Chain A
Amino acid sequence: MSRRKTYEDSSDEEEGRSRKRRRGSESVDIEDRLESLITRVGEKSTSSLESNLEGLASVLESDLPNYKQKIMRILCECVTTMPEKLTVYTTLVGLLNAKNYNAGGEFVELLVRNLKEVLKTSEFDSALVMVRFLADLINCHVIVAASLIMMFDSFLEVTLEDNIPQVRSDWYVYAVLSSMPWVGKELAEKKDAELEKLLTTIEHYIQKRQKIHVQTLRVWTSDDPHPQEEYLDCLWAQIKNLRANQWEEHQILRPYLAFNVVLCDALQHTLPRIIPPSHHDEATYPLPTVVFRMFDYTDVPEGVGIIPGSQAIERYLLEEHISRIIESYHLERKDCAAYLLSFPLKCKVPLNYMIVEVLFSQLFRLPRPPYIDLFYGSLLVELCKLQPSSMPQVVAQATEMLYDRLDTMNTSCIERFVQWFAYHLSNFQFRWTWDEWSDCTQQDLLGPKAKFVQEVLLKCMRLSYHQRMVEIVPADFKALLPRKPVPSFKYEKEGSGSLPGTIVVHQLMQAIKSKCTPEEAFSIIKDVPNPLKEKEGMDPGYNPLRIEVFVQTLLYIGSKSFSHSFAAISKFNNVLKALAETQDGQICLLKSLYELHKDHQQLIVVLIDKLLKTQIVECSAVANWIFSDEMMQDFTSDEEDYDNVKRIWQRFEVAYKEATDFYVWEIMHSTVKKMNKQVQKLQKEVDEARDRREAAHRRTRDGLDLDDEPEDVPTEEMIERMEDRLEAAQSEQKNLFLIIFQRFIIILTDHLAKCESDDSDYNTHWYKWVIERLQQVFLLHHEQVYRYINTLETLMFTSDIDIHILEVFQQFCALRS
C-alpha cells in the first residue's frame, strides 16, 4: 500500500529494468536510490523522523558534488508532488543549507525560478504550495524574513491594480493568507510592524470585495445549521483568530523545531524580487469557492475528539492536509484511503468525520468536482473496508444529514448525491434503512426528498434490475419505484389495428427479422402517406408517420440489449439519415424513440448518444427536442378559453414532470459535452498544424532543412480548411447554447408570468428544479459558455427579462469578474 511498495513494484516492471540495462551505469543506480530516499522520507518508519532527516541530509551532502543537479530537481519536485509533507522537506532543505550554504542558495534559486514559471503559465495550485514552502523556509533559517515580506508586499500590490478581474487579486491575497499558519508566528516575532501592515491591507481588500458569485457556488441555500462561508472570508476569519491566539496553532508538525540549534547557526538567503506577471486575457485564475461544512462538534460521539470550530485555523489546516493527500494519491484509491487514515495528528480529532466532510465537499464542489465521481465512490468504499468498525457509520450518518438537508440543496449537488449513493448502495448489497426515510412518501412527487429517492432507485436499477428494487424498499415506497424498463410498442397493443401504419409495421418487422437489406426496408416504408402533407398541402421536409413506423419497429426489434439496438442503428444508418434529413425530422425521430422507450431511461440516454455519434441527429435537434412541448410543456396557449386553460393546466402538471427528471439533463449535458469536444478537437488540430508549420519555417530559416517541405508539414491551404471547419463547429456550438438558453428563458418566463397572473407563489418545486438546471448549464460548461458571454448579454439576458432569470446570469458573470 505504501508509496515505497508502489515504487519498488514499478521499478520491477519490464520498462524500468530495460531502462536501467540501457543506461547500465552505476550512477543511474545511485540517482534512483537518491530519488527513492528523498521521496520516501517522512513515511512511517522504524526510526524517528528526526534521525531519518539527519541521516538523509548527510547522504545528500556527500552526494552533492556529483549529483547536485539531480538532488535539486528531486527536491523541487517534492514541493509540488508531495505538498502534504511540506514541513518535512523544508526541514531537509534547512539541514542541507546549514551544511552547505551554496546548495541552499541554489535550491531557493531553482524554486523561485519554478514559481515564476508557474505564475506565468497560470498553474496556481503549484504556485500556492511553492509560496507556502518558501514561507516555511523562514522557520528553517534558509530565507531572510524581510525578503519574504517583500514578496508578500508585491503580491498584495495586485489588489491596487486597475481593470483586473477580482479572481486575480483574490488569488494573490489567498496565497499570502494561506501561508500565515506556517509563518505568522515567526513574522510576528521578527517583523511585527510589517506583518501588521500586510494584514491591514488584506483587511481593506476583504471588505471591498464583491460577492455576487456566492449564491451560485453554494451547496445549500440555507445557513442552517452551519454557515456556508465564502472561502476568502472564511480564511480571513480563521487568520484573525490565529492572530488573536498569538499565532499558536495545534496542527502543523514542525520537524525543524528539533533542529533549532543547528539551523540557528545557518546563514540565510535573500529572496530575489518576485513580481507577479501582469494580467493578460489568457490567464485563468482559480474560481472562488464556498467552504462546505456539514458537521460540527455536536455530531461526533464522545471520546473520539473534537471537530475544530468553523473559524478555527485548525479546521482549515486539517481540510488542507486531507485535500493534499487526496491530490497526491488520487490515482491510487487504496493508497489514498490508507494514507488518509494514517494521517499524523497532533491532537485528538475525529479524523473520519473530517475525511468524510472533505470528500463530500469535493464531490459537491461547484462548478465541478476536482476528480470524477467514481473516484469518490470507490474511495469511500475503500475507507469503509479499511475501517469497518467506524467508517460505515460515519458515512451513513453523513448520508442521513444530506438527506435531511435536501430541501435547500442545489440541484447539481442532489444529482451528484444520487449518483454517488446509488453506487455506494450497489457496493453494499443495497442495504439501507429505508424505513427511516418514509417521510419522503408523504411528499409531493416533485418534492426534494421524494424526487431524490425516485432518482436513487432509478440509478440503482441501472446497476441492478427492476425486481431487486421492488424487493429492497418497504411497501409504502411503491409510488416512488421506477417503472419496469420495457418498451411500449403501440403497434402490438390492443387496438393497434386502427392505427395508421400498423400494416406497414408488420411487413417491416417480418422483413427486418428475415435480415432484409436497408434498401428493401426503405422500399417497404416508401409509400407511407405523409399526414402533414394532407393538412398543409406543401412539403414539410419530413414524414412523421414514416419516421415513427421505421424507428419504433427497428428499435423494438433491437430492444433485447444495447448491442442489438446499436447493431440495428448501424445497419440501417442510411435509412435513418434519409428519413431525418431536416431538423424537424430529427426531432420527430427522437420523439418516436422516446415514446417507445420512455420507461427505459438508460436506453434513451445511450441511444441518443449513439445517434449523435453516428451523426444521424445533430446536437441542436436534441436540445430542441428536450425543450419541446412533449418534454417541457411550453405554456403559450390561448388563455381566453377557460376549458382549454384547465385542460392545459392538467397536462402541465403531468408533463412538467419530465423537466424534473434527471436523465433528461443527463442527455442535455452529454450532448453539450459532445459538441464541446468536437470544437476542442478541431481547435487542437488547427493549433498543431500551425505549430508544425512554424517549426518547419524555423528549420528553413536556420538553414537546417534545405530540402523541399517534408510531407508532414501542412500547407497554408490545409490550415485554412481546418480553420473553416473549426469556425463552422464553433458557430454550431454557439447556436446550441443560444437554443438552450432561449428555451430556458421561455419556459421560466411563462411560469413566472402565469404565477403572477394567478397571484400564486412562483417558487414551486418545478421552478426550483428547472431554474437550477439553467444554473447548471452555466456552471458545468463554464469555460465554453464564457466565450459567448457578450452575445448572451446583448441578445438574451437583457434587462427586460425577469430578474430571477437574469440573476442566474449575473451570478455566473461574477464568477470571473
Chain B
Amino acid sequence: MADCRGEKRKRDSGSVQLGAYRDQRYKGSRQQQEDLLLHSTTLYVGNLSFFTTEEQIHELFTRAGDVKRIIMGLDKFKKTPCGFCFVELRKFPRSVLIASDPSFYNLNSVVRYYTREDAENAMRYANGTRLDDRVVRTDWDVGFKEGRQYGRGKSGGQVRDEYRTDYDSGRGGYGKIIQQKIPAAAH
C-alpha cells in the first residue's frame, strides 16, 4: 500500500528514536546493544523524586499501555528508592503475510516480529511530562537484569546525585559530594 512507507518514516523518527546515552556496563558489542534497544519494551525512567512510589509510576504508565512490571531503582546501601526505575511494557507478537509482494512470492511468506506499541506510546506521551511535580525522562533500555536496580554512585545512589550542585528536595537535597564537603548543607 502506498502509505506503508509514510508510516515507517513516522515510526522511526522523533520521540521513539534511541537517545544518545548508552549503558557503559553493557556486556556485548555496541551493535548487539543497539539491536536490543531497538526491539526493547523496557524503559528506563529517570528524574523521579525519591518519594515517588511504584503505585504512582504504574498509574502514569498504565495510561500508555499494559505495564508488566516495575523495578524501582534503589540506593545500593540503604535499599531505599533513589530516583529511577525500569518499566516493562507488553510486547505484541505480529506476523505479516507479504505474499502479495512479488519479490517474496515463493519464499517463506510470513515475517514474524514484535511491535512495541505500548512502550512507544510511553516514550511518545509520558516522556517529558510531570509525575509528582517533576518532569520525568524516559529512555529505551535493553531490559532488566538483577543488579541493575542499584544506584551506581559511590555513595549508593545514582551517579548524577554524586556530582549535583543544586539543591533538590525531592532527591535528598544537595549532591553527595557537596554534602560531604559542607556538612551543614545536608540539612
Contacts and interface: CB of A to CB of B under 8 A. Distances in A.
Given A10-B9, A463-B59, A702-B106, A76 B2 contact: yes
A215 interface: no
Contacts of A126: 3
A602 B60 CA distance: 12
A133 to B, nearest CB: 12
A259 interface: no
Contacts of B34: 14
Of A15, A374, A691, the most chain B CB neighbours within 10 A belong to: A374
B95 A374 contact: no
Given A372-B64, A372-B121, A702-B106, A427 B6 contact: no
Nearest to A8: B13
Interface in A379-423: 381, 419, 423
A381 B56 contact: no
B17 A13 contact: yes
Interface stretch (A189-197, A227-235, A329-337, A728-736): A329-337
Contacts of A76: 2
Interface in A753-794: none
Given A126-B3, A429-B133, A563-B54, A374 B121 contact: yes
Nearest to A673: B66
Given A80-B2, A80-B6, A561 B53 contact: yes
Contact of A81 (B6, B95, B109): B6
Given A335-B14, A372-B63, A463-B56, A563 B106 contact: no
B70 interface: yes
B56 to A, nearest CB: 6
Interface string B115-136: 0000001001110011111000
B6 A77 contact: yes
B85 to A, nearest CB: 11
B108 interface: yes
B130 A692 contact: no
A520 to B, nearest CB: 26
B63 A331 contact: no
B25 interface: no
Give the bracket for the number of chain A residues in contact with chain B: 35 or more
A561 B52 CA distance: 12
B90 to A, nearest CB: 10
A8 B18 CA distance: 15
B78 interface: no
A721 interface: no
B52 to A, nearest CB: 9
A570 to B, nearest CB: 11
B168 interface: no
A81 B2 CA distance: 9
Contact of B110 (A13, A73, A429, A692): A692
Nearest to B12: A10
B181 interface: no
B62 to A, nearest CB: 8
Contacts of B12: 10, 13, 15
Contact of A602 (B59, B110, B130, B131): B59
Given A465-B53, A563-B71, A563-B72, 5 more contacts: A77-B5, A333-B124, A464-B132, A603-B55, A699-B106
Interface of B: 1-3, 5-7, 9-18, 34, 53-56, 58-60, 63-64, 69-72, 93, 95, 97, 99, 106, 108-110, 121, 124-126, 129-133
